[in-house]
Chain A
Amino acid sequence: MKVKMLSRNPDNYVRETKLDIQRVPRNYDPTLHPFEVPREYVRALNATKLERVFAKPFLASLDGHRDGVNCLAKHPKSLATVLSGACDGEVKIWNLTKQKCIRTIQAHEGFVRGMCTRFCGTSFFTVGDDKTVKQWKMDGPGYGEEEEPLYTVLGKTVYTGIDHHWKDPVFATCGQQVDIWDEQRTSPVCSMTWGFDSISSVKFNPVETFLLGSCASDRNIVLYDMRQATPLKKVILEMRTNTICWNPMEAFNFTAANEDYNLYTFDMRALDTPVMVHMDHVSAVLDVDYSPTGKEFVSASFDKSVRIFPVDKSRSREVYHTKRMQHVMCVKWTSDSKYIMCGSDEMNIRLWKANASEKLGVLTSREKAANDYNQKLKEKFQYHPHVKRIARHRHLPKSIYSQIQEQRVMKEARRRKEMNRRKHSKPGSVPIVSERKKHVVAVVK
């Protein structure tokens, strides 16, 4: 007979000295790991609960402005620097790591309407209610020097927005018309108009850098090509758009923040139907900015909240609010995609985490691995009712909560009425219009 018994040498399984780490032999045989799915489910549930426990997104409030913050600008080269313009014409430059104001300029009389940095990060431009465009040096004045703009242009009308070209020394302003400026000249290279209404914002496309998008108060969004004198095309929506933002990764897409509480993501090539309608705000959306990954964007609203939307989802994944935050005028997503800044009416700039439960600072490799594992589990079980309920739960201020309920009732009533009308009229005479097509009035080329 031949016989072999299972006989383990304990030395192979126990650590030699107390200073060693414990030996953990692994065997991935499924029969040794029963209940794989239920255990993973429980882990996913725990991870989701912990995520809500650790969701503390608010980081800091930068105070110092003496009037509402009207516009923000990111520094293209330095993550720690951010610029803000207030309603009293004051511009402040902040250091985010120290959470301190490093420089204050009285730039304009009246509002600072728009602000942008030059692509190289050495200077920035402001426009204000005093009909001027000013260029400023990023560094402060030397000892004994006066705080003076590098360059000032006095225009005929009020400028409401400004954006700089991504590569060339060219910038665009908007007001009664869209003006393209060369930095060296004191008059615009070309001006483009379509209709006679005031244009509220203009944005350069980050990839096709000659393209511009603008939105006007006659409810339309107009696309321009810098190389030709006339605009390309425009789309008219039901209500006016406050601002637009191009997707930095898929630069043919842009998102428009609309007065009708919604945001619309459009494909530039097919403007007749928006790619997605994002709805969750309960008041006019005032500003929008994309994450550098192009997967998500953040929106600021008159309802005193900031929401984060995935590009391909119609509902927001996150809402930020505090008791003291008033109408949010402007919002920016930082270039490392980790933080969000918002400037609001009550003179503060707030810094938030983009991912509410993220742990800041350096993570150990084990922490990182655990984090990745939990992320994957949450993703795997996200559609299970318990997990979904916990992951979706957010506390809302009473005003927003009640308005959401109210609007739900109104929407339901509208839907019911339409259904009844369809039921009692000739078949086909009340067509079914999808939510996406409902808000577009016309496309003009």
Chain B
Amino acid sequence: MVFFNKTFREEIMSGCNIAFRYKGAKNNPVFLFPIPSFSTIIIKMLRTGVRTFTAALRRQPQSQHQKTVTRFALQRRLLTTARDEEKARNRAAIGVFNWKSAALFLGTGAGLLLYFRQEKERVTKLREEKARETSKAYGKPKIGGPFELINAENGKRFDSTKELAGKFYMVYFGFTHCPDICPEELDKMAEVVDIAKEKKEPLVPVFITCDPRRDSAEIVKEYVKDFHPDMIGLTGDQDEIRKVAKSFRVYVSSPPSVEEGEDYLVDHSIFFYLMDPDGKFVDCYAKDTTAEEVVSSYEKYYKEYYADKK
């Protein structure tokens, strides 16, 4: 079967540069060289011829269709070279997968990936915004509201709708005779105000006393000056204070029967109430939040508020 000698075979192999991976072709002599030998053709011809002849003898005469099929099969067999056969075998092994289709596949894949990523980002952003809007519309409790008290600074009436309009302010309810909690919280509030001032996000601290019986204007004035120069101290009479405390849902409880000059403590809830420039409630901060946490939260609300306004 081997017409060409070994060196010629090797030359042809090196010139081919195609990786042959056809299984079972290792020992196939046809695999070794690309050009079919003359003898192979002759043998194939004879084989097919014999087969057709014997088939014709044995069976009914072939139908027209069958004759066409046989003729085409014969042609295909005769004219197919080994290389074509190898190619066909390789193509069969790899299937529809060649370099061009691979490149196309990867390109489409990459394109789709990028497109979907973009779309996903867009949709998540939209969803976030919608969630924020709905929470804004329904989620804010109706805490606080306009109030009118006495400003400890000058003893005059203090109307929140006039004096605090257009500014963010933070309210704390306490009393001057508080042992340790109010001083701590007011120090924290002063720190928050200072940090916010540095960041150019002004915040007005407001102290409202829950103990108007003992905390007159002068006392409150001196008290708040000790913490921060910007702090506004407010007082009033029992009814006014009770109304404001109620609107802020602040728990305040004085001992019921106290005599003049007697010493007592007022029980009250410990929260900072952040209000926006429209006088609406934004958020409240408990005793365990640090000044930094309060400031970062405040910053978010500040930016949100002014971003909306723009």
Asked whether A and B interact, the reply is: no
Interface residues of B (CB under 8 A from A): none
Interface residues of A (CB under 8 A from B): none
